[in-house]
């Protein structure tokens, strides 16, 4: 059972999300919060698997709440950010804060449930087209430096394949099927990639790939 905390300052949105998610056999809503500060408190008290986080909220916004939750380190709840606009400038900060995924509020119920499954399983949600646009927009505002470009040379051929697949939004299982290895081997490759790129997580590695033009060159 995936335990979810709903965070949104709109009570109607929270109610709609609860009704939707409570109809899923593998998801249960364990609590709600109307602002980022309450979200941090509820996340600490309830230990959900996934925090469904709105970005724009009063008192303490979703970016600050995400940053605080991510700072808890291993075993912390995964954070799936909900955004209203395709290119919400605040989402740039959410990437820096360590959010595990991004989804538009106009996503279908099926897409929402699948996104929750994805981040709960430890994967970053980078497959929707909106997320790729956000990552590209984020990356394009930061020029790559020579040191970061040289990191590409440290990746093995198989790691290149895995990073390209990550940038394309594939899950661990999908990558395993594509390159004919086990999911555990994929996890080993990803761990190595993160270490070589000095990336905190999969999302940051994908940002690096777009930022340096790596995915276009290989």
One digit per residue, the tens of pLDDT, for the chain of length 218 reads 999 999 999 999 999 999 999 999 999 999 999 999 999 999 999 999 999 999 888 888 899 999 999 999 889 999 998 877 655 566 667 777 888 888 878 888 888 998 898 889 877 765 445 555 656 665 565 555 666 667 777 889 899 899 988 887 777 888 899 999 998 899 899 999 999 988 877 777 887 887 777 766 54
Q: According to the model, what pLDDT value does residue 87 have?
A: 53
Where do the domains of the chain lie, and which CATH numbers do they carry? Answer: 2-138 (3.40.50.2300), 145-217 (1.10.10.10)
Q: According to the model, what pLDDT value does residue 19 have?
A: 94
Q: Whole-angstrom Cα distance, residue 186 to residue 182?
A: 7
């Amino acid at each position: 059972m995936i335990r979810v905390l709903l965070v949104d300052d709109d009570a109607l949105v929270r109610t709609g999300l609860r009704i939707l998610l409570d109809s899923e056999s593998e998801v249960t809503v364990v609590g709600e919060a109307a602002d980022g500060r309450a979200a941090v408190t509820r996340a600490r008290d309830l230990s959900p698997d996934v925090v469904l986080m709105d970005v724009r909220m009063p008192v303490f916004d979703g970016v600050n709440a995400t940053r605080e939750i991510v700072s808890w380190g291993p075993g912390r709840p995964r954070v799936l950010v909900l955004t209203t606009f395709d290119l919400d400038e605040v989402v740039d900060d959410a990437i820096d804060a360590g959010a595990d995924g991004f989804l538009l509020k106009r996503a279908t119920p099926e897409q929402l449930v699948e996104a929750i499954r994805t981040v709960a399983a430890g994967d970053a949600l980078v497959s929707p087209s909106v997320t790729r646009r956000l990552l590209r927009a984020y990356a394009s505002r930061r020029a790559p430096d020579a040191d970061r470009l040289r990191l590409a040379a440290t990746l093995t051929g198989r790691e290149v394949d895995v990073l390209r697949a990550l940038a394309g939004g594939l899950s661990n299982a999908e990558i395993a099927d594509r390159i004919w290895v086990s999911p555990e081997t994929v996890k080993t490759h990803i761990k190595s990639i993160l270490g070589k790129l000095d990336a905190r997580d999969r999302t940051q590695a994908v940002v690096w790939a777009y930022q340096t033009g790596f995915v276009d060159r290989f």
